[in-house]
Amino acid sequence: MRMPMIFLFLLAVQLQAQNPDSIFSRANKNYNLGSYEQALAGYDSIVQIGLHSSELYFNMGNAHYKLNRIAPSILNYEKAQLLDSTNEDIQHNLRFAQNMTIDVIEELPPNTFDLFIKNISGAIPLPLWSGLVIGLLALACLAFAVYLQSRQSRQKRQFFVLSLLLVVLSVSSFGLALDRQARDAQQSEAIIFAQTTDFRSEPNLRSEILVQLHEGTKVRVEDQVEQWVKVRLANGTVGWLTQSDVQRIAF
């Protein structure tokens, strides 16, 4: 009778050790004790099993920051911000980490119309945009059917105008859904992890070096050719970096 009991006890201990909440709690204790490497090992093990949260990446960013690892801290703060864009603690710590980077790149002033469209399309997730398009189109068909069945001229005009308005809204929503889809597909941001890297005019070592970039700088990846990635800086300048020098802000 003792062997099964011992086996069950060991199994319970093993399952508890593999529990993400238990790992996260233990990692936080290591962080509070100043054992940042051990804390990161715990956080990384949670990421490896496919779990993500803003708190997890925020703590990982803090641990890397304590170890003076600028690029990994910025990467993890950016991931945390993707999951919780309104968290002021994440924004505050991200700014602190960014202040430790070398490169100072002035951002281009945003296009007012493009920013307006981006804010609207980005306000709703793509699946909801798709549902909105279908719903508006269905209502437009219903309003047009009522228009066809109506006998009173005033009522016919009202439902005809309503059907046209719903069609316009449906088409507009479809356009915004396409914009959201295109932005999600094309916009892939990354952080430079190399201490220093050459920002080149073409994807080869014979091309002109436009400028040297440093650890922690954020870029937007627009294309990839073998081991090279085409990136755009915040000031609009486009060039090429070796793929191994950057890590994308992705899960």
Would you say 160 and 147 are in contact if contact means Cβ atoms under 8 Å apart?
yes
Considering 59-68, 139-148, 181-190, the range whose residues carry the highest mean pLDDT is 59-68
Which two tokens mark 90?
């994440």
Residues 6+ apart with CB under 8 A from 155: none
* pLDDT tens digits, 87-107: 999 999 999 999 999 998 887
- What span, in angstroms and rounded, lies between the C-alpha atoms of 174 and 185? 16
Domain 17-98 top-level CATH class = mainly alpha
As to burial, measured by CB atoms within 10 angstroms (0-12 exposed, 13-18 middle, 19+ buried), residue 130 is middle
pLDDT, average across residues 22-27: 95
Which residues fall within 8 angstroms of residue 67, CB to CB, at 6 or more apart?
36, 37
Contacts 24+ apart (CB under 8 A), 161-168: 164/140, 166/136, 166/137, 166/139, 166/140, 167/136, 167/137, 167/140
Separation of alpha carbons 171 and 182, rounded Å? 16
DSSP code of residue 244: G
165-189 pLDDT tens trace:
999 999 999 998 888 777 666 558 9
Q: Where are the domains of the chain?
A: 17-98, 112-186, 188-248
- Report the mean per-residue pLDDT for the chain: 88
Give, in words, the CATH class of 188-248: mainly beta
Encoded amino acid at 140, one letter: A
pLDDT for position 188: 83
Only one residue has tokens 């005033």, namely 154
Of 218, 175, 210, 168, the C-alpha closest to 193 is 218
Task: Give pLDDT, residue 202.
Answer: 97
